[in-house]
Amino acid sequence: MKFYAHLFVVTFIFFLVLTGCKKNDDVTDPGTTTETLSDDEVADAVAKSLVSGESGCGLTGVVNISAENSNGTVLTLQPNNLNAPNIDSTIHKTGNTTYATYDYYLSLKIRFIKKGQEYLIYPPTCDTAKVNIMAYGSVTAKTGRYSYHDSTYLSNTYLSGISPSSDTITLSGIAYYFSTFTVTATNKTYTLATMMTFTSLKAPKSTNQISSGTVTVALEATLKSGKKVNYTGTITFIGNQTATLTFNGKTYTINLNSGSVTV
C-alpha cells in the first residue's frame, strides 16, 4: 500500500512539473525567436514609399509637387523682386481617396540656380532648381491590411529642364523614406528605412508624374524584436503610373496610384 501511495505522490509531482513547463511554453512569444519578414511584405512597404497624389507622401507624390512648383512656365517672376511671393510653404493634406485615408504635412523649399547663384523666385531663362522637401504623416490603406506612419525627405535634389522651352523635367538626387507599418490582419509591426538614389527621372510638364527612369534602393527593415534585415534593389518607372521593383531575384509590379503590388 505504501508503494502505491509513494507512486501516486511521485506521479502527481511529475504532473505538476509537466503542467508548469507546458504553461511556460504557452506564454512564450514565438515571435521573439522566429519573427520574419517576407519578400512580399517588403515589396508592399516599398510600394507605399512611392505612392503618388494626395493619398500618400511617397517619392512620386513629392516629385509631382516639386515639379509643379519649380516649373518656369508658371513662376515667370522677375529676380530680386521683394514683392514677389516666396514659394517656401507648409501644406497640410487630409482626406479620403478610393485607396486610403490620409493626414500628413509637407514642407517645401525651392531655390532656383542660375550661374551659381541661388534665387528664391524664378529668374528668367533659369533651367535648374534645387529642392528640399519633407513630407510626414499617416496613411491607412482601405484594403484593411496596412496602416502606416511615414515620412519622405529629399535633400538637395536637382531638377533640370524647368525653363519654359523644355517640356520635361529631369530629376537627380537622393530621397529618404521612413515608415512604421502595422499589418492589421496579424498585428505584425515593422519599420522600414529606404534610401532611393536617382540620376535621370523624367517628369513631363503635362502631368508632372514620373514617366521613366530608375532608382537604386537600399532597404533596412527592423522587426518588433529589434532584428534587422537588409535588401538592395532597383525601381524602374515604365509610365502609366506603373513601376517595377526588383530585389531578391523577384520582380514586382507597382500601381503608383494605389500602392498595390502584383508579382
pLDDT computed for residue 73 by the predictor = 59
Position 21 pLDDT exceeds 60: no
pLDDT value of position 55:
60
- Average pLDDT (105-111) is 85
Q: Is the pLDDT of residue 182 over 50?
A: yes
Q: What percent of the chain has pLDDT over 90?
A: 22
Segment 6-19 shows an average pLDDT of 36
Residue 2: band (very low, low, confident or very high) from pLDDT cuts 50, 70, 90: very low
Residue 197's DSSP bridge partners are: 174, 216
22-74 pLDDT, tens digit per residue, is 333 333 333 334 577 888 888 888 888 887 766 666 788 778 777 877 877 55
Specify the pLDDT at position 86: 55
**Is residue 7 classed as helix, strand or coil in its secondary structure?**
helix
Q: What is the arithmetic mean of pLDDT over 3-20?
A: 38
Structure confidence at residue 97 (pLDDT): 79
State how far the Cα of 12 lies from the Cα of 244, in Å rounded to an integer. Answer: 63
What's the confidence (pLDDT) of residue 32? 39
Q: What is the mean pLDDT of the chain?
A: 77
Cβ(236)–Cβ(259) below 8 Å: no
Angle of CA points 212, 140, 245, to nearest 5°: 30
Torsion, CA 75, CA 206, CA 195, CA 39, rounded to 10: 160
Rounded to whole angstroms, how far apart are CA atoms 200 and 171?
Answer: 6
Q: What is the pLDDT of residues 133-171, one digit of tens each?
A: 888 888 777 766 777 777 888 888 999 998 888 999 999
Q: What is the pLDDT of residue 5?
A: 44
**pLDDT single digits (tens) 211-250:** 999 999 999 988 888 889 899 999 999 999 899 999 999 9
User: What pLDDT is stored for residue 82 in this prediction?
Assistant: 44
C-alpha cell at 68: 509643379
Backbone phi, then psi, for 7, in 5-degree steps? -65, -40
Q: Where are the domains of the chain?
A: 36-262
Residues, the chain, total?
Answer: 263
| Stated pTM of the model | 0.76
